[in-house]
Amino acid sequence: MGNKQTIFTPEQLDAYQDCTFFTRKEILRLFYRYRDLAPQLVPLSYINKPDVKLPYELIGSMAELKDNPFRQRIAEVFSEDGEGNMTLDDFLDMFSVLSEMAPRDLKAYYAFKIYDFNNDDYICKSDLEKTVNKLTRNELTPEEVSLVCDKVIDEADQDNDGKLSVEDFQHMIVRAPDFLSTFHIRI
């Protein structure tokens, strides 16, 4: 294992530190976590800015994500190509947003994106149905699912357009105090 001087330059580390909610130590730890996913792919030095991308299959197999029903969405939202293949930057970004330090609005913004399955800027009924099915492992009947979704839209939709916008979502998040602690992955 190289020490931190050989993995990143101090400038790189500073940049990472300024762009995420992590300390140097945590950044290095996350780097090792990233590298452990595919030691043969990820070089031990990032000084030359290698263009490495880990495929979704590897990212999704992380202990933190592998049982999460939303793992694919998380990976898609945070990856630059939108398909779940992640560079180290994306990886750090993801855990930075999911860390304890991230503010509510940032978390809410990304949570919204995660639940917006069809990427249309709104959480519509089909998104909600997908969410419910993921949350309950398809144990509810379709009627129940659609009833629940109607109720949710009814409650959270402030401007009556039949779907939830980012603002609706954020408005709702403000009233759910547990969100901050549950939208959080310990690393």
Partner 1 sequence: MFYHDNEAFENPDYHYSETLEIDRSRERNSSFHQNLHDSSLDDDSLYDSYEGRSGRGQRNQDYPLAIPMASMQPGFQYSYSTSRSAMQHNTNPYGNPHTNPSFEYEPELAYTSPSFHAADGPYVRRSSDMSDGGSFSQRYNRRQADLVYRMPSSLLRLDSNAETYNEDKHKQEEKLIKNLASMSSRERIKAIQKTPKTMKEKRDIRNKVLMEKTKKSASYHTQINCCTQCLYKTALSYQQFKNGLSECWHLLQFWQKTLKVIGGKFGTSVLSYFVFLKWLLTFNIFSFLVNFSFITIPQLIVSGPNNLSFNGLELLSGAGYFKKTVLYYGFYTNSTITKTENNSSYNMRLAYIFTIGIYFIICFFSLVYSMAKSFRKNFINPHTYSGSAAKLLCIWDFNITNEKAVKLKQSNLSTQIKESLSEVTLEVLNLSLKQRIARIAVHLVVWVASLGIAAACCAGVYFLSRNNLQFLEGKKSELENEAATLVLPIVVSLLNLLVPFCFALFGLLEKFQYPRHQLYVTVIRNIFLKISIIGILCYYWLNDVATLEKECWESLVGQDIYRLIVIDFIFCLFGSFFGEFVRRIIGTKCCKKLGVPEFDIARNVLDLIYTQTLAWIGIFFAPLMPAVQIISFFIIFYVKKVSLMRNCQPPRKVWRASQMTTLFIFLLFFPSFTGVLAVMAVTIWRRMPSNQCGPFQGLTSIIDAVSGWIHILDSYSGSKWVVWIYRNLIGSVHFFFILTVIVLMITYLYWQIIEGRKIMVRLLHEQIINEGKDKMFLLNKLSALQTSKLGPPKGEQQERSSSLYQPSRQAALQMTASLERPFGRNGRDFYAESFSAGIPEKTGLSPADSEGHRPAISETLALALRARQQAEWEMQDDDDKDFRP
Q: What's the min distance (Å) between Cβ of 63 and partner 1? A: 6
Q: What's the min distance (Å) between Cβ of 120 and partner 1? A: 5
Place of tokens 């330059």: 9
Q: 35 CB contacts (<8 Å, ≥6 apart)?
A: 42, 44
Q: 32, 44 in Cβ contact below 8 A?
A: no
Nearer to partner 1, 45 or 68 (CB): 68
Q: 122, 114 in Cβ contact below 8 A?
A: no
3-state secondary structure of 86: strand
Q: 28, 35 in Cβ contact below 8 A?
A: no
Q: 84, 59 in Cβ contact below 8 A?
A: yes
Q: What's the min distance (Å) between Cβ of 79 and partner 1? A: 8
Nearer to partner 1, 45 or 104 (CB): 104
Nearer to partner 1, 33 or 40 (CB): 33
Nearer to partner 1, 9 or 68 (CB): 68
Q: What's the min distance (Å) between Cβ of 145 and partner 1? A: 9
Q: What's the min distance (Å) between Cβ of 40 and partner 1? A: 24
Nearer to partner 1, 57 or 144 (CB): 144
Q: 10 Å Cβ neighbour count for 175?
A: 8
Place of tokens 């109607």: 150
